[in-house]
Structure 1
Amino acid sequence: MVKVRTQDLIKRFDLELVAGVDGVHHEIVTSDISRPGMEMAGYFTHYPKERLQLMGRTELSFLYDLTEEEVKDRMTNLCTDVTPGIVITRGMEVPPSLIEAANEAGVPVMRSPYKTTRVISRLTTFLESKFAPTTAVHGVLVDVYGIGVLITGASGIGKSETALELVKRGHRLVADDNVEIKQEDYDTLIGNPPNLIEYLLEIRGLGIINVMTLFGAGAVRNFKRISLVAHLETWEADKQYDRLGLDEDTMKIMDVNLPKAIIPVRPGRNLSVIIEVAAMNFRLKKMGINTAEEFSERLNKVMDVNQDDVD
């Protein structure tokens, strides 16, 4: 489980630490961010104290309408022993009562010069990425024409060799053998290599090769969104394979269903070219151009004309 601490936010976003220096090692346990509006009005019954708290112009301006005693009470209740931190936006002045309460409770108070909406967006994106559910898949991930293609198949089927040929053709390797996958959104899977095998490719007969050293920095990527699965399997003479492209298989990884192309492997088939075409065809479908459906419609029209001639 990835751990995120308040000090990670300070370093990542260059936040100014105003108070609560003793609490910079607090662990952040959720990606949710709270703007304590009701709390400023004195309602703490359902206060999400475990969340990162963010105060902008609205929250701080409200304090000017309160008495000094009320402000002190609000700030004391805001700073609990499990609150990971409080972020002040727009570079606004931090109320002295908040500094006092934060120092006493050990809650870091950080300040950012940027607008509230921008700070929320960046913090949420960062935390969602850190807390995203993860899994690992045996396969090879390659960036082909901007499409993240996950190549799967049985061990020894030729996944790494296909990836090597794709790299030689100008595409970029992301991960070989083991792909770590994060679900950063309900329909978004991001793949990256484990640190131990980053930029490495295993070719049977050659061993381990460093793709970045051999082909340059432009031949690798650290991460890529996965959009398509290309599954390699040994050709079976008695098996019926899709010849038109009308049947669309899928592969489910966590909560996301990815389109899956099953590619039979036998001598003489250029797998790298086939995967290139699969990636380009996937992009065409995203643009609303489905060649298989267009051919089917054209075929149906021809059959209807021939039937009319017979009648």
Structure 2
Amino acid sequence: MKTITVENIVRKFSLEVLTGHDQLHRVLKQSKVRRPGLEFMDKFDFIAIEHVQILGKNEINYLHTLTEEECKLRIGNIVQYDPPCIVITSNQEEPLGLIHYCVTENIPVLRTSDSTSEISAKLDAYVVKAMAEEIAIHGVCVNVSGIGILLRGKSGVGKSETAHTLIGRGHRLVADDIVVLKKLSPQTLLGSHNEKNKEFLALRSIGLLNVVRLYGRAAFQEETRIALDIELTKWEHNALNNDLELETKFTEYMGVQIPHIQIQLQPGRDVAGLIEAAANNWYLKQQGYSAAEEFVKRLEQEFDNCNSN
């Protein structure tokens, strides 16, 4: 897991540092920000610790109604749960005693022009991604019609060439050779590049290509949610290649299960077209439609009609 500091979010979101310039090394340990509510009360049983605390208009307006001593008491209720920093939204004026108290307790106080909802969403999304469990695998990641696909297979099987064909059809490259997978939730896997291979595609006999320089910005995407795991393999003459496969197969990455499809390669096969078909078919399944299930139902209906006659 990567370490995120207060300085990282200051730079990322251009936050104004009101106090605590020498405390920006403090580490964020929780992936969700909080707005104080019960923290302003004198008695409460449990509050989650070590969260970035956001002071929006409601909180600031409330603190402005208090005396300096009362404000110090309420802020103390927040500070005792060790927030890495406190963020004031909407460029509001800091309440009485806040700066002095936070200087004493070594808590950085930051300010932003964003609204509470805006900065909360930005911080949550950034921190969740940055703190996510991740692995790097050999493969190619592409986005086909808005659907993230992981292409795997042995070296030289044609993954990069297939990605190049898909780019020519209007789809997008995410990463070639090394794909970074991040687990955002038990159901969500994000595919991205490792910065060094950003925008690059390596083709045998051709060399290294920068797809953005060659084909424009639309040829590349920073990241994509992985929906399909497609393995490219050599053709097996004795394998059953036309089964209905009513039961979905899966590949597991960091505990997240991704639907798995194997495509066997043979001269003349339109592999890019098959991947497009797989992506579109996956989309239809998400809408509740399965061609295989409909086909089986037609067979069963015909069978029932024959038996009834």
TM-score w.r.t. length of structure 1: 0.88
1:197: which partner in 2? 197
In structure 2, the partner of 1:157 is 157
Tell me, yes or no, if the aligned pair for 2:41 and 2:77 is still in contact at 8 Å: no
Query: SS in structure 1 opposite 2:98?
Result: helix
Aligned counterparts of 1:109 and 1:127: Cα–Cα separation in 2: 18
Letter in 1 for 2:54: L
Instruction: Give 3-state SS (helix, strand or coil) of 2:31's partner.
Output: coil
- Rate the CA distance shift 1:43–1:126 in 2: closer, same or farther, 3 A: farther
Following superposition, the deviation at residue 25 of structure 1 comes to 2.8
Q: What is the CA distance between 1:245 and its match in structure 2?
A: 4.2
Identity of aligned residues (%): 37
Change (3 A) 1:19 1:45: farther
The aligned residue for residue 206 of structure 1 is: 206
Unaligned runs of 5+ in 2: none
Identify the residue that residue 39 of structure 1 maps to in structure 2: 39
Amino acid in structure 2 at the alignment position of 1:12: K
Partner of 1:11: 11
Note the C-alpha offset of 1:287. 2.4
Provide Cα deviations, 1:250-271, integer angstroms capped at 9, x if missing partner: 1112232111111112222221
Q: Which runs of 5 or more residues in structure 1 are unaligned?
A: none
CA–CA distance in structure 1, aligned partners of residues 266 and 236 of structure 2: 9
Moved more, 192-201 or 209-218: 209-218
* Cα root mean square deviation, aligned: 2.5
CA distance in 2, matches of 1:64, 1:268: 73
After superposition, the Cα gap between the structure-2 partners of 1:207 and 1:6, relative to the gap in structure 1 and judged at 3 Å, is same
Take 1:94 and 1:44, find their aligned partners in 2: how far apart are those partners? 25
What displacement does 1:180 show? 0.3
1:134 match: secondary structure: strand
Quote the Cα distance in structure 2 between the aligned partners of 1:192 and 1:77: 40
Amino acid at match of 2:139: G
Which deviations, in whole Å up to 9, do the C-alpha atoms of 1:68-115 show, x marking residues without a partner?
A: 434334435644695311112344332231110122233211223444
The residue aligned with 2:143 is 143
How many residues align? The count is: 309
Deviations 1:133-155 (A, max 9, x none): 11122211111112111111122
Residue pair 2:64, 2:96 contacting (<8 A) in 1 also: no
What amino acid maps onto 2:270 in structure 1?
N
Q: Does the 8 A contact of 2:139 with 2:150 survive in 1?
A: yes
Change (3 A) 1:220 1:66: closer
Matched, 1:270 2:270: yes
**Hey, what's the Cα distance between the residues in 2 that align with 1:219 and 1:35?**
40
1:233 maps to 233
Tell me which residue corresponds to 2:93.
93
The 3 A distance-change label for structure 1 pair 27 and 239 is: same
Instruction: Give the Å deviation of 1:57.
Output: 4.1
Give the letter for the 2:173 counterpart: L
Larger deviation, residues 83-92 vs 246-255: 83-92
**Which amino acid in the other structure matches residue 241 of structure 2?**
Y
Q: Which residue of 2 aligns with 1:129?
A: 129
